[in-house]
Amino acid sequence: MVDITTLQSKVLAIAAQQLEKNNDQIDTVESLLSQGADELDCIEIVMRLEEQFGLEINDTDADLLTSVDAIVEYLQKHTKE
């Protein structure tokens, strides 16, 4: 199983860069949309996750990846890194 701290760090870095914020400005529980992301930002984040982790995330799953914690939980289940 992938280390949760490592996953969270990687996801925070991706989200923060996309939202042009520092990692410590991102709340891991709160929805990314409520933190300034728009739909395009969310699509870009999913694309970067796919690239970073070698995954293909379908649209149904992508719609559920609303927060850093939700993304980390998804990645824990779907990566073997």
Q: Tell me if 23 sits within 8 A of 13, measured CB to CB.
A: yes
In the predicted model, what is the mean pLDDT of residues 68-72?
97
Quickly name the fold that domain 4-78 has: 1.10.1200
**Domain coordinates of the chain in residue numbers?**
4-78
pTM: 0.92
3: confidence class by pLDDT, cuts 50, 70, 90: confident
Q: Of the listed 3, 27, 38, 63, which one is catalytic?
A: 38
- Please say if 38 is a catalytic residue: yes
CA 45 – CA 16 distance, rounded (Å): 10
How confident is the model over 27-57, as pLDDT tens digits?
999 999 999 999 999 999 999 999 999 999 9
For residue 59, the model assigns a pLDDT of 95
